[in-house]
């Protein structure tokens, strides 16, 4: 009799595992609490669906930071080129953008997801949607479905329920309590690739919320990012902030605050800036003087006026004023809520699983994707790791069932 696998979670990791397992002639049942599959995958497609990245493999893997060694075997077993080949096998050609990021030529997720679902159904995968997983009742998986309580038994179970960002799309982290009841070690879920609260003055927030801050160098600890972000009513978010978010979040967690430095004029040296500021101000206000002398935008001038020393700025020497522009300090207070984050950190500890990613405390139950305790920057690294995880863990399930 054909052995069966229950996969809980119809995101990229779960669907990729379903493809590998069904191709190996296992009976595969995919459960999801939502009435359709791949909702977060489709959301990612709104920004063009950044599949992966074209940089060399070693550099790619190092982007996973402290998790690089743990994820290396997964990425090496399903590389960015493998992901491109898979995508093109579904009829969606890919291309490398100017930043090295890889996208489908259509820039959409929906055609790819439709082709993927058709392939899975042709391989015999059965979908059980609108099934909310409640945990276990004895050896059976327990669900709440539209028609009432449902139980399901399988030879192996794969949990691929995602993190806790964008909970309205289905992944809300509620599985943490289910696993805690089984004595499975986890670390708390935290926002990753997120924005941060700053605590602007009401005048600044009202005037500048929604405006982009471009061509700035953001520095924190030993990291420097040349990029841009968006000023929000409460703080900052966007590409450069996301790139620093893990370090900023950890600093806030440890010390309650983080000090982010902005070089507001990265295209000019400190010495050259000082020389420009030697020009007499005459009767101009400081704001008008900076605008005319340095061509500063109202937003950049506003950021200077948000400094703790703003009352003294008008009395600063050219050297002091130049230093403020090259090292504008922003006090980071806290991350935005996890529901606004692009992804999450935390989850099931790698130490809680064996070499096949089976839970040591739950025989026959495997974990894949963002449920595991890793994080990555945007740029294709998130989706690559989720899909590589699905492939790798599916092969681990096959090895385990073959023993």
User: Which tokens is 156 given?
Assistant: 């192996």
pLDDT in tens, 353-379: 999 999 999 999 999 999 999 999 999
Same domain? For 131 and 157 the reply is yes
Query: For position 46, what pLDDT does the model report?
Result: 86
Q: Answer whether residue 328 shows pLDDT above 80.
A: yes
pLDDT in tens, 225-263: 999 999 999 999 999 999 999 999 999 999 999 999 999
Q: Answer whether residue 311 shows pLDDT above 80.
A: no
Q: Domain boundary residue among 335, 367, 387?
A: 335
- Mean of the per-residue pLDDT values for the chain? 96
Count of domains in the chain? 2
Which residue range(s) make up the domain with 9? 4-192+344-402
Given a contact cutoff of 8 angstroms between Cβ atoms, the answer to whether 218 and 262 are in contact is yes
Same domain? For 187 and 103 the reply is yes
Mean pLDDT on 139-151: 96
Sign of the dihedral through C-alpha 238, 239, 240, 243: positive
What CATH number corresponds to the domain at position 31? 3.50.50.60
Q: How far is CA 297 from CA 126, 292, 300, 302, in A?
A: 57, 10, 5, 9
Q: Which residues contact 15 (CB under 8 A, 6 or more apart)?
A: 30, 37, 38, 116, 120, 390
CA dist 387 and 192 (Å) reads 19
According to DSSP, the residues that pair with 348 across neighbouring strands are 186, 372
* CB atoms closer than 10 angstroms to residue 275: 13
Same domain? For 165 and 28 the reply is yes
Q: Closest by alpha carbon to 247, among 231, 227, 229, 223?
A: 223
User: Maximum Cα–Cα distance for the chain, whole Å?
Assistant: 90
Same domain? For 200 and 291 the reply is yes
* CB atoms closer than 10 angstroms to residue 251: 18
Q: Domain boundary residue among 316, 335, 354?
A: 335
Q: How far is CA 117 from the centre of its chain?
A: 24
What does pTM read for this prediction?
0.93
Q: Closest by alpha carbon to 175, among 151, 192, 158?
A: 158
């Amino acid at each position: 009799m054909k052995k069966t696998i229950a996969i809980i979670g119809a995101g990229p990791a779960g669907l990729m595992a379903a493809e590998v397992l069904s191709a190996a002639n296992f009976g595969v049942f995919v459960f999801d609490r939502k009435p359709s599959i791949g909702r977060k995958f489709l959301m990612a497609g709104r920004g063009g669906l950044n599949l992966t990245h074209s940089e060399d493999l070693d550099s790619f893997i190092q982007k996973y930071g402290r998790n690089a060694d743990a994820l290396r075997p997964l990425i090496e077993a399903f590389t960015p080129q493998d992901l491109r080949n898979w995508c093109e096998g579904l009829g969606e050609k890919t291309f490398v953008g100017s930043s090295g990021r890889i996208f489908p030529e259509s820039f959409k997720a929906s055609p790819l997801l439709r082709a993927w679902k058709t392939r899975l159904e042709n391989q015999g995968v059965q979908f059980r949607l609108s099934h909310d997983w409640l945990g276990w009742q004895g050896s059976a998986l327990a669900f709440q479905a539209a028609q009432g309580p449902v139980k399901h038994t399988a030879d192996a179970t794969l949990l691929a329920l995602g993190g806790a960002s964008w909970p309205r799309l289905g992944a809300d982290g509620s599985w943490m309590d289910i696993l805690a009841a089984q004595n499975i070690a986890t670390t708390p879920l935290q926002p990753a690739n997120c924005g941060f609260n700053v605590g602007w003055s009401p005048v600044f927030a009202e005037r500048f919320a929604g405006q982009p801050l471009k061509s700035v160098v953001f520095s924190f600890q030993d990291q420097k990012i040349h990029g841009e972000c968006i000023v929000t009513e409460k703080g900052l978010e966007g590409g450069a902030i996301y790139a620093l978010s893990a370090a900023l979040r950890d600093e806030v967690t440890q010390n309650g605050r983080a000090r982010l430095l902005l070089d507001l004029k990265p295209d000019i040296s400190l010495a050259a800036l000082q020389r420009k500021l030697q020009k007499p101000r005459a009767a101009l206000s400081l704001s008008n003087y900076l605008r005319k002398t340095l061509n500063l935008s109202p937003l950049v001038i506003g950021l200077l006026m948000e400094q703790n020393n703003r009352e003294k700025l008008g009395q600063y020497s050219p050297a002091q004023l130049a230093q403020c522009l090259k090292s504008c300090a922003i006090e980071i207070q806290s991350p935005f809520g996890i529901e606004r984050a692009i992804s999450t950190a935390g989850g099931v500890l790698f130490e809680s699983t064996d070499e096949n990613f089976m839970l040591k405390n739950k025989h026959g139950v495997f974990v894949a994707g963002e449920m595991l305790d890793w994080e990555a920057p945007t740029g294709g690294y998130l989706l690559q790791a989720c899909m590589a995880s699905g492939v790798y863990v599916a092969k681990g399930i096959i090895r385990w069932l073959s023993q």
